[in-house]
A and B are shown apart, each in its own frame.
Chain A
Amino acid sequence: MEELYSVFAQEAREQLSAMEDGLLRMEQGDHDSETLNAIFRAAHTIKGASGVVELHHIEKFTHILENLLDKLRNEEIEVSPELITALLKGCDHIGTLLDRVDQGLMDEDAGLQQAGEVTADVLRGFTNMQVADSTAMMPDASVGTVERAGGETAISDCWHVSIRFGRDVLKMGMEPLAFLRYLLNLGEIVHLETLCDALPPAADMDPECCYLGFEITLRSHASKEQIENVFAFCRDECELHILPPNSKVADFLGLIEHLPEEPMRLGEILVKSGALTQEELDVGLRRQEAATKIAEATEQVPPQIGEILVEKKMVQPELVEAAAAKQKQVADKKSAESRLIRVQADKLDQLIDLVGELVIAGASANLLAQKSKQGNLVEATSVLSRLVENIRDSALQLRMVQIGETFNRFNRVVRDVSKELGKDIELVISGAETELDKSVVEKIGDPLMHLVRNAMDHGIEPAAVRAAAGKPERGRVELNAFHDSGSIVIEVVDDGGGLNAEKIQAKAIEKGIIQPGQTLSEQEIVNLIFEAGFSTMEKVTNLSGRGVGMDVVKRNIQALRGTVDVKTELGVGSRFVIRLPLTLAIIDGFLTSVDNAAYVIPLDSVVECLELRDDDTRGHMLNLRGEVLPFIRLREFFDVEGAPPPRENVVVIAAGGRKAGIVVDQLLGEFQTVIKPLGSLFKHLRGIGGSTILGSGEVALILDVQALTHLATQSEERRTQPRHALLAEERE
Chain B
Amino acid sequence: MTEFATQTTTDGAVHLILDGPMTIYTAGEIKAQLLDGIANAAIVEIDLSHVGEMDTAGFQLLVMAKREAQRLDRTLRIVAHSPAVREVIDFYNMDAFFGDPMVIPADH
CB pair A208–B88 under 8 Å, yes or no, is no
CB pair A202–B67 under 8 Å, yes or no, is yes
Which of these binds chain B: A42-50, A175-183, A461-469, A592-600? Answer: A175-183
CB pair B93–A208 under 8 Å, yes or no, is no
B19 near A: Cβ within 8 Å? no
Q: Smallest distance from the beta carbon of A363 to chain B beta carbons, Å?
A: 56
How many residues does chain A have at the interface if contact means C-beta atoms less than 8 Å apart?
A: 21
Pick from B31, B88, B92, B94: contact of A205, CB below 8 A.
Answer: B31
A626 near B: Cβ within 8 Å? no
Residues of B within 8 A of A202 (CB): 31, 35, 64-65, 67-68, 71
Residues of B within 8 A of A212 (CB): 56, 60
Which of these binds chain B: A190-198, A368-376, A420-428, A451-459? Answer: A190-198
Q: Which of B34-84 contact A (CB under 8 A)?
A: 35, 55-57, 60-61, 63-65, 67-68, 71
Cβ proximity bits A514-525 to B, threshold 8 Å, 1 near / 0 not:
000000000000
The chain B residue with its CB closest to the CB of A214 is: B92
Tell me the dominant secondary structure on chain A's binding face: loop
Q: Which of A176-235 contact B (CB under 8 A)?
A: 176-177, 180-181, 191-194, 196, 199, 201-202, 205, 207-208, 210-212
> Which of B24, B56, B57, B92 has most A Cβ within 10 Å?
B56
The chain B residue with its CB closest to the CB of A179 is: B56
B12 near A: Cβ within 8 Å? no
Residues of B within 8 A of A196 (CB): 60, 63, 67, 97
The chain A residue with its CB closest to the CB of B26 is: A207
Tell me whether A194 and B55 are in contact in the complex, defined as CB-CB below 8 angstroms, given that A170-B24, A212-B60 are known contacts.
no
Residues of B within 8 A of A201 (CB): 67-68, 71
CB pair A207–B60 under 8 Å, yes or no, is yes
Residues of A within 8 A of B91 (CB): 177, 180-181, 192
CB pair A192–B92 under 8 Å, yes or no, is yes
CB pair B27–A192 under 8 Å, yes or no, is no
Q: Smallest distance from the beta carbon of A372 to chain B beta carbons, Å?
A: 60
> Which of A176, A192, A205, A212 has most B Cβ within 10 Å?
A205
Pick from B28, B92, B94: contact of A208, CB below 8 A.
Answer: B28
B18 near A: Cβ within 8 Å? no
Residues of B within 8 A of A191 (CB): 93
Tell me whether A205 and B64 are in contact in the complex, defined as CB-CB below 8 angstroms, given that A192-B93, A194-B92 are known contacts.
yes
> A211–B67 Cα gap in the complex (Å)?
14
How many residues does chain B have at the interface if contact means C-beta atoms less than 8 Å apart?
A: 23
> A194–B95 Cα gap in the complex (Å)?
11
B30 near A: Cβ within 8 Å? yes
Residues of A within 8 A of B30 (CB): 207
> A247–B68 Cα gap in the complex (Å)?
38
The chain A residue with its CB closest to the CB of B35 is: A202
Residues of A within 8 A of B65 (CB): 202
Residues of A within 8 A of B64 (CB): 199, 202, 205
CB pair B92–A207 under 8 Å, yes or no, is no
CB pair A194–B94 under 8 Å, yes or no, is yes
CB pair A176–B31 under 8 Å, yes or no, is no
Q: Smallest distance from the beta carbon of B61 to chain A beta carbons, Å?
A: 6
The chain A residue with its CB closest to the CB of B38 is: A202
Tell me whether A199 and B67 are in contact in the complex, defined as CB-CB below 8 angstroms, given that A177-B91, A180-B91, A192-B91 are known contacts.
yes
> A208–B92 Cα gap in the complex (Å)?
18
CB pair B63–A208 under 8 Å, yes or no, is no
> A208–B27 Cα gap in the complex (Å)?
7
> A486–B58 Cα gap in the complex (Å)?
64
> A181–B92 Cα gap in the complex (Å)?
10
> A171–B30 Cα gap in the complex (Å)?
17
> A205–B65 Cα gap in the complex (Å)?
11
CB pair A210–B60 under 8 Å, yes or no, is yes
Q: Smallest distance from the beta carbon of B21 to chain A beta carbons, Å?
A: 13
> A170–B61 Cα gap in the complex (Å)?
13
CB pair B57–A208 under 8 Å, yes or no, is yes
> Which of A180, A191, A192, A202 has most B Cβ within 10 Å?
A202
> A419–B35 Cα gap in the complex (Å)?
71
Residues of A within 8 A of B93 (CB): 191-194
> A181–B31 Cα gap in the complex (Å)?
26
> Which of A177, A192, A211 has most B Cβ within 10 Å?
A177
Pick from B27, B67, B88: contact of A207, CB below 8 A.
Answer: B27
Residues of B within 8 A of A192 (CB): 91-93
Residues of A within 8 A of B27 (CB): 207-208
The chain A residue with its CB closest to the CB of B55 is: A175
Residues of B within 8 A of A193 (CB): 93
The chain A residue with its CB closest to the CB of B27 is: A207
> A171–B55 Cα gap in the complex (Å)?
12
Beyond known contacts A192-B92, A201-B71, A208-B27: 20 more, CB 8 A cutoff: A175-B55, A177-B88, A177-B91, A192-B91, A192-B93, A193-B93, A194-B92, A194-B97, A196-B63, A196-B97, A201-B67, A201-B68, A202-B71, A205-B31, A205-B60, A207-B30, A207-B57, A208-B24, A210-B56, A210-B60
Q: Which residues of B contact A (CB under 8 A)?
A: 24, 27-28, 30-31, 35, 55-57, 60-61, 63-65, 67-68, 71, 88, 91-94, 97
Which 9 pairs of residues, A with B, have the shortest CB-CB distance?
A207-B27, A202-B68, A207-B31, A194-B92, A176-B56, A192-B93, A196-B63, A170-B24, A170-B57
The 14 sampled A-B contact pairs (Cβ below 8 Å) are A175-B55, A180-B91, A194-B92, A194-B97, A196-B60, A196-B67, A196-B97, A199-B67, A202-B31, A202-B71, A207-B24, A207-B28, A207-B30, A210-B57
